[in-house]
A = this chain, B = another copy of it.
Amino acid sequence: MITIGQLARYLGVSTKTIRVYHAKGLLPEPYRDASGYRRYTATGAIALIKIRTLVEAGVPLARIRTLTTASDAVLREAITDIDADLTTRIRRLRDTRQRLRELAAGRPDRLPVTVDRYLRGLEGLGFSARWIALQRDLWLLVHATHPDLVGDLVNDQMQALTDPTLRQIFLDYDRAYDLAPDEPAVAALADRMAAATIGRYGTGGDLPGHDTGTRIPDLIQSAVNAASPAWRRIDTLVRAELHRRARPAPGPPAP
């Protein structure tokens, strides 16, 4: 017959926590002594231990209440679900810890030297300052989300620019920024881009960086599209063309 304070101390919770569990019907109210104090037996302590185990597993109090009156079979099934949920939460926490370490390792808003070289190279090739600024933003995003992929992607991009045909497509894409979406030059450029994409990456849809399981390529594409109506139209046309020629595949330009 212990008091609420003793019970709380022994199980490492606050007295308020125990009173809340009473008020919400998770824990039956115990016997009260002459002065109205709650007096607990080991049975109450056991019930509280069970509740705390579930709370620490992340189960909402409302669900715990239904479980206290549930049948053995229902309880067992629920615990299986909670167990699986715990496992995914543990995995996510480990992922978070990993990203945290990457965040501590290198200043994530300072770009790797390879990207800096690539961006400086763009000036000499005749790209606009606006294009270079946009590219910088996009590489920052890729680096923040997938630092391990940056090396491969930037190499792929630098190699593409050594091909005169591809380089001209990128330059024309840069200049298409100011075009009206319905100008014929826009559709013509989209045709050339679809053909070049297939020539470079095939029709299987496995463009570099598009298999990361995230939606970062979509974010980049929508950022690009939002910058210019002509670019938005080109994206639509290229997607349609790639879809027509093969299976669905996302569009230009990488990154």
Interface string of A7-23 (1 = CB under 8 A from B): 10111000000000000
**Chain B residue with the shortest CB-CB distance to A86:** B97
Which among A7, A42, A220 has the greatest number of chain B C-beta atoms within 10 A?
A42
Residues in B with CB closer than 8 Å to A93 are 56-57, 86, 89-90, 93
Contact (A42, B138) CB under 8 Å given A6-B219, A53-B96, A79-B103: yes
Task: Give A1 to B1 CA distance when docked, in angstroms.
Answer: 65
Is A50 touching B108 in the complex (CB atoms < 8 A)? yes
**Interface locus among A24-32, A140-148, A173-181:** A140-148
Q: Which of B2, B100, B107, B218 contacts A83 (CB 8 A)?
A: B100
Least CB distance, A52 to chain B, in whole angstroms:
9
Residues in B with CB closer than 8 Å to A226 are 1-3, 39
**Chain B residue with the shortest CB-CB distance to A76:** B104
Residues in B with CB closer than 8 Å to A3 are 226
Task: Give A145 to B48 CA distance when docked, in angstroms.
Answer: 11
Asked if A168 lies at the interface with its beta carbon under 8 angstroms from chain B, I say: no
User: Assembly of this chain: how many copies?
Assistant: 2
Contact (A6, B222) CB under 8 Å given A57-B96, A94-B90, A103-B79: yes
Contact (A100, B9) CB under 8 Å given A2-B223, A42-B140, A137-B41: no
Residues in B with CB closer than 8 Å to A245 are none
Q: Which of B1, B50, B97 contacts A57 (CB 8 A)?
A: B97
Task: Give A211 to B134 CA distance when docked, in angstroms.
Answer: 63
Least CB distance, A216 to chain B, in whole angstroms:
7
Known: A42-B223, A45-B144, A93-B93. 5 other contacts (CB 8 A): A46-B140, A50-B108, A57-B97, A80-B104, A90-B94
**A interface residue numbers (CB < 8 A to B):** 1-3, 6-7, 9-11, 39, 41-43, 45-46, 49-50, 53-54, 56-57, 72, 75-76, 79-80, 82-83, 86-87, 89-90, 92-94, 96-97, 99-101, 103-104, 107-109, 137-138, 140-141, 144-145, 215-216, 218-220, 222-223, 226-227
- The contact sample of 16 A-B pairs, CB cut-off 8 A, is A3-B226, A6-B222, A10-B215, A10-B218, A41-B223, A43-B109, A45-B219, A46-B140, A49-B144, A50-B108, A56-B93, A57-B97, A72-B107, A79-B104, A90-B93, A90-B97
